[in-house]
Structure 1
Amino acid sequence: MAKIRLGILGGGNDSLIGILHRVAANMFEQFEITGGVFNVDHDKSLNFGERLGLDRSRVYKNLEEMIRQEKELPEDKRIQAVSILTPNFLHYPMAKQLLENGFHVICEKPLTTTLQEARILNEIQAESNSIFAVTYTYTGYPMIRQMKSMIANGEIGSIQKIDVQYYQGWINPLIHDKDKRSATWRLDPEKSGISCCIGDIGTHAFNMAEYVSGMKVEKILADLNYLYEDNPMDIDGTVLLRFGENVKGVLRASQIATGEENNFTVQIYGDKGGLKWEQENPNYLYLLKEDQALQVLKPGHAFLSDFSLEGTKLPPGHPEGIFDSMGNIYYGVAMAIKDKVKYTGAYPTLGDGLRGMSFIEKTVSSHKQGNIWIKMQD
């Protein structure tokens, strides 16, 4: 079948997230980058489009121009799906316009800056035929998908404890300087929303806890850290999780964990065993059992789950990383667009993004109300 024509909003120049999405989109040869708006400066956007080998007429000044001119093209020529790689405050207005005009959407997280905006998108998408993915990137790792399959198959028994941690230190050099913290867009509520740390990386951990366990968080209790009175955004936090009466967990997220790079770990314990995974060593899934030696599972072996193997592109012993993980999500979206979805969880949905926004708002609310338990369900 023909490749899906993809447009991109943002992600130009030396953007890390931009190259991650472009490589992922090309990985399974399911997408063809056709055009977009790569920068608010049109000249810079044109220069970047030329680097990608795009037709200058498909590099637009803004989203409105892109939608208008693409819809004037024959259906077999126009952009079909659009990736939103802009700062948080632009996610909602862009996604809304795209859904209302019939485009499929791949959106960076957090989905929006408010829960109400996420609800509106959910209502619009429910009435459309558009596929909508939110890039909780780490769900695409083969060994995370293996973990999900093993838990679903009962290999560690009934879940008793869930522990997710996401530690970074990147904001530490900025937060202690008043001018620097005031100039950082992630610490600006107008651009980032009500949360920095929980909104940026805590939602990854929340989504992962629900994704691999197959369970939903019922209640949360949060304790956040802002460090300075003039800083309106959390940069560290601990959230207690209740999945049920006897299934509890903890989510720890920090951007002031000095020296940490991207330390995301997932630990799930059942009554028959436990599973551990570390994002900085993503090819290793550790299986723990009572009175048995520690087992280390690696991707690419025939004894692993079909879901894990479908996301594995190299033979055993050849490392796969975050580009591959994002590529698996893009592949899942492509299969959905082409009506060939095989596995639940092949890509994070708008519903996952909506739930992430609910988690952000309830976490901040729990903290501000004096660290109290709050129900996740509306």
Structure 2
Amino acid sequence: MGKKIKLGILGGGGDSLIGVLHRVASSMFDKFEVVGGVFNTDINESLKFAEELGIGTDRIYANLDDLIEQENRLPEEDRIQVVSVLTPNFLHFPMAKQLVEGGFHVICEKPMTTTLEEAKILKEASDKAGKVFAVTYTYTGYPMVRQMREMITSGKLGKIQKIDVQYYQGWINPIIHDKEQRNTIWRLDPEKSGISCCIGDIGTHAYDMIEYVTGMEVKKILADLNYLYEDNAMDIDGTVLLRFEDQIKGVLRASQIATGEENNFTVKVYGDKAGIKWEQENPNYLYLLEEDKPLQVLKPGHAYNSDFSLSGTKLPPGHPEGIFDSMGNIYHGVAKAILGEEAFDGEYPTITDGLRGMNFIEKAVESHKNGNVWTSIDD
């Protein structure tokens, strides 16, 4: 086996769930090696965390400026090649832009930026640098999501006529009703989170999923968002009507105040021949609905699935695969792109997906604030 791709990480230290997810995902397929980064704004905490992970401390830096400067002094074959940006939302844009201009590939958490204008600037910088740029819309890596995409593309469902996606969580419910608490978390702080909480956090996952599995672009949206309290500047719930071309319509529902819900992300697509639905909390089941036929349940690892689905399946049928595997498939797609290897279309979400995600977030807020009116999504 050749040398592994050298990976640096920004953020994700301590008990960060997203940090664990990315580190485990990067270790799959034996393509990456975490060699350094900036895990914390306090370098002593970063050094301590690196020691806990068993990573050499010689490439743990005080800040991003030091990382870029010191790494670019090393021989090219020894440098960090790609950096994962796992910091709060407001840091995504400046860090990612500095990285691509510094000669690094980037894997960035979503939302990619806090404004559409930032996303456009970042895409221009990335295109100019010619580097791989991935945005971690994690759920696109599930084998049965990839199977859903292939079935829709192949015409199994016929002409698409209805799309319904729901992403319900309840985690913010105990916080939002306490004035003191809701003013202390960063996700409800526009300076750190951007213009949206719910739509920017989970609604963008749902939006990207719709375009990913259908291959269609949303053309117009009408959003009705819920802020619940007048002193709360960030949406924590929302419903968005969707219009595609050819009279195709859909609905996107996202909530962080759906009491008792954990991570209820459900995708349903209906054509004139069949319907299909997938639930993130039961990700190994893809339901196929056809007129006058029994319900069919498709599962990963079987030969009846597409080559794309099977390429992201690591275990035999009957062995559950989950979110770590999904993120691992995205990292594998990034590795193929960096190494110039042959890959399936859609193996990782690109900077264009990140740009469209920011476009959706901004237009959803705009639609709501303008009185719940239809608003066009830019091409």
TM-score range, shorter chain: over 0.9
Deviations 1:297-328 (A, max 9, x none): 00000121000000000000000000000000
* Equivalence for 1:166: 167
Paired letter, 2:248: V
DSSP-derived class of the 2:343 partner: coil
Deviations 1:154-193 (A, max 9, x none): 0010100000000000000000000000001000000000
Aligned-pair distance for 1:129? 2.0
Q: How far, CA to CA, are the matches of 2:355 and 2:186 in structure 1?
A: 22
* Equivalence for 1:115: 116
Q: How far, CA to CA, are the matches of 1:54 and 1:141 in structure 2?
A: 29
- 2:218 pairs with 1:217: yes
DSSP-derived class of the 1:212 partner: helix
Deviations 1:117-158 (A, max 9, x none): 000011011111210000000000000000000000000101
Q: Write the mapping of 1:299-310 to structure 2, written as runs, cut at 5 A.
A: 299-310=300-311
Deviations 1:215-248 (A, max 9, x none): 0000000000000000000000000000124210
Paired letter, 2:344: Y
Which shows bigger deviation, 245-254 or 313-322? 245-254
* Equivalence for 2:20: 19
TM-score (norm 1): 0.99
Q: How far, CA to CA, are the matches of 1:116 and 1:271 in structure 2?
A: 39
Paired letter, 1:72: R
Paired letter, 1:136: Y
Q: Write the mapping of 1:136-151 to structure 2, written as runs, cut at 5 A.
A: 136-151=137-152
Aligned-pair distance for 1:268? 0.2
Aligned-pair distance for 1:344? 1.0
Q: How far, CA to CA, are the matches of 2:192 and 2:146 in structure 1?
A: 33
* Equivalence for 1:127: 128
Q: Deviating runs (4+, > 4 A) in structure 1?
A: none
* Equivalence for 2:86: 85
Contact 1:168/1:256 (CA < 8 Å) preserved in 2?
yes
Deviations 1:77-132 (A, max 9, x none): 11000000000000000001000011000000000000000000110111112100
Q: How far, CA to CA, are the matches of 1:55 and 1:26 in structure 2?
A: 17
Aligned-pair distance for 1:44? 0.7
Contact 1:109/1:353 (CA < 8 Å) preserved in 2?
yes
Q: How far, CA to CA, are the matches of 1:306 and 1:245 in structure 2?
A: 30
* Equivalence for 1:283: 284
Q: How far, CA to CA, are the matches of 1:161 and 1:371 in structure 2?
A: 21
Q: Write the mapping of 1:145-224 to structure 2, written as runs, cut at 5 A.
A: 145-224=146-225
Q: How far, CA to CA, are the matches of 2:212 and 2:365 in structure 1?
A: 22
Aligned-pair distance for 1:366? 0.1
Q: Write the mapping of 1:1-378 to structure 2, written as runs, cut at 5 A.
A: 1-377=2-378
Aligned-pair distance for 1:61? 0.4
Paired letter, 1:75: E
Paired letter, 1:272: K
Contact 1:332/1:341 (CA < 8 Å) preserved in 2?
no
Contact 1:92/1:118 (CA < 8 Å) preserved in 2?
yes
Aligned residues: 378
Contact 1:237/1:254 (CA < 8 Å) preserved in 2?
yes
Q: How far, CA to CA, are the matches of 2:207 and 2:8 in structure 1?
A: 29
Q: How far, CA to CA, are the matches of 2:25 and 2:132 in structure 1?
A: 17
Q: How far, CA to CA, are the matches of 2:316 and 2:40 in structure 1?
A: 38
Contact 1:133/1:348 (CA < 8 Å) preserved in 2?
yes
Deviations 1:2-53 (A, max 9, x none): 1100000000010000000000000110000010000111111000011121
Q: How far, CA to CA, are the matches of 1:18 and 1:342 in structure 2?
A: 26
**Gapped regions of structure 2 (runs ≥ 5):** none
Q: How far, CA to CA, are the matches of 2:304 and 2:57 in structure 1?
A: 49
TM-score (norm 2): 0.99
Q: How far, CA to CA, are the matches of 2:314 and 2:263 in structure 1?
A: 23
Aligned-pair distance for 1:341? 3.7
**Gapped regions of structure 1 (runs ≥ 5):** none
DSSP-derived class of the 1:234 partner: coil
DSSP-derived class of the 1:223 partner: strand
Q: Percent of pairs identical after alignment? A: 72
DSSP-derived class of the 1:316 partner: coil
